[in-house]
Amino acid sequence: MITRSSALLQRPDRHEPSPLAIQARWQTQLARAIRDPRELCRRLGLDEAWLPGAEVGHALFEVRVPEAYLARMRLGDPSDPLLKQVLPLAEEAVPMAGYVADPLAEAEHAPAPGLIHKYAGRVLLITSPACAVNCRYCFRRHFPYEENAPSRAQWDTTLDYLRADASLHEAILSGGDPLAASDRQLAWLVERLEAVPHLKRLRIHTRLPVVIPDRIDDALLGWLATTRLQTVMVLHINHANEIDEAVIAACQRLSAAGVTLLNQSVLLQGVNDSVESLAALSERLFEAGILPYYLHVLDPVAGAAHFDVSDDQARELVAGLREVLPGFLMPRLVREIPGETSKTPL
């Protein structure tokens, strides 16, 4: 999953394209994502009464919603499950006992810059600090991006760490969203990872193909389809409505390139906290060629307490899900506990 250490690759363009680079279609869409709560409310035809709360939340963690994702929301419906994931609320400013800025305390497991090594055989690389969408429940919402400027020297240290540990078989690109980095940067990195003989797998945790399906373009498939490493992509999808025809087409291109597609979700109050919603998600994932992997309970990050679902309710939902789904469409219900050597099943 996503972590909070220094990012290894240069931060993607926030607003302006580099004058020398031709922007890919997805980069233009990323640059044009909605970043203003008033604009978000106006575009969705929400009642003015939502705006003051949205401004409060936005001041804590900025709004970011790409057009392609907005297009899947229902107009004028504040309970739309996609909107709920991105609409800031006044509740985010209310302190809650047990909800902290850094719930996973991952800084203790960073033996090299931007590298988290917590679990046997696999390491996580913070490949890009930015995201294409800002999810209100994100445990990185308090991440101090400004303090984490990357450098080429950091890269060398990080790659040395990977080369020196022959027990490592898998490199996981994470962030932020690793696919917010350019294909030139990603191809550069993957070329170096391929040269590490004991690495077998490349895993990418991303939400970009969901919120901007055009991210799966020829430039990306160029390096992804030709690497010697086995490739796994773990998408982050929380609701069936997130999967439209464009997402399915993007997934088909990934599958055709030999990528194994998995999904992880977060159990979120008001978004997917019913057996019907979770079953529909699993069914829809499979239509896109994606297998459910994890269903995470919420990390207790400050500002997200209103999304919490109790452990008892989570277990009940999963028991109900088992009644209606084939075993291969069942996600594993887990929690991330700092200091454990794997995710913890509930």
Ligand X SMILES: *Cc1c(COP(=O)(O)O)cnc(C)c1O
Q: Which does 134 bind (CB under 5 to 8 A by kind): ligand X, ligand SF4, none?
A: ligand SF4
* Residue 131, marked binder: yes
CB of 163 closer than 8 Å to CB of 325? no
User: Could you say whether residue 216 binds ligand X (CB under 6 A)?
Assistant: no
Does 253 contact ligand SF4 by CB under 6 A?
no
Contact string 172-191 vs ligand X (x = CB under 6 A):
x-------------------
Stretch that binds ligand X, among 23-31, 66-74, 112-120, 253-261 (CB under 6 A): 112-120
Sign of torsion, CA 64 202 226 287? negative
The residues near 256 (Cβ < 8 Å, ≥ 6 apart) are none
| Shortest reach from residue 177's CB to ligand SF4, in Å | 5
Please tell me whether residue 267 binds ligand SF4 under the rule CB under 6 A. no
- φ/ψ of residue 58, rounded to 5: -60, -35
DSSP state of 112: B
343 is an interface residue for ligand X by CB under 6 A: yes
The span from the CA of 64 to the CA of 136, in Å, is 10
List 1, 126, 131, 250, residue binding ligand X (CB under 6 A):
1
Considering the rule CB under 6 A, would residue 110 count as an interface residue with ligand X? no
2 binds, among ligand X, ligand SF4, none (CB under 5 to 8 A by kind): ligand SF4
Q: Which of residues 188-207 bind ligand SF4 (CB under 6 A)?
A: 207
Closest Cα to residue 193, out of 203, 182, 183?
203
> Which amino acid, one-letter code, is at 71?
A
Determine whether the annotation assigns residue 251 to a binding site: no
Q: Which two tokens stand for residue 216?
A: 């799966």
Cβ distance to ligand SF4 smaller for residue 300 or 320: 300
Three-class secondary structure of residue 337 per DSSP: coil
Strand, helix or coil for residue 64: coil
The Cα–Cα gap between 135 and 140 comes to 10
107 burial class (0-12, 13-18, 19+ CB within 10 angstroms)? exposed
Between CA 59 and CA 88 the distance in angstroms is 9
7 binds, among ligand X, ligand SF4, none (CB under 5 to 8 A by kind): none
Residue 235's SS3 state is: strand
Query: Interacting stretch for ligand SF4, rule CB under 6 A, among 27-35, 127-135, 160-168, 281-289?
Result: 127-135
Binding site residues, ligand X, CB under 6 A: 1, 3, 116, 118-119, 122, 124, 172, 342-343
Binding site residues, ligand SF4, CB under 6 A: 2, 131, 133-135, 138, 140, 175-177, 207, 236
Residue ranges for the binding site? Answer: 131, 135, 138
Residue ranges for the binding site for [4Fe-4S] cluster? Answer: 131, 135, 138
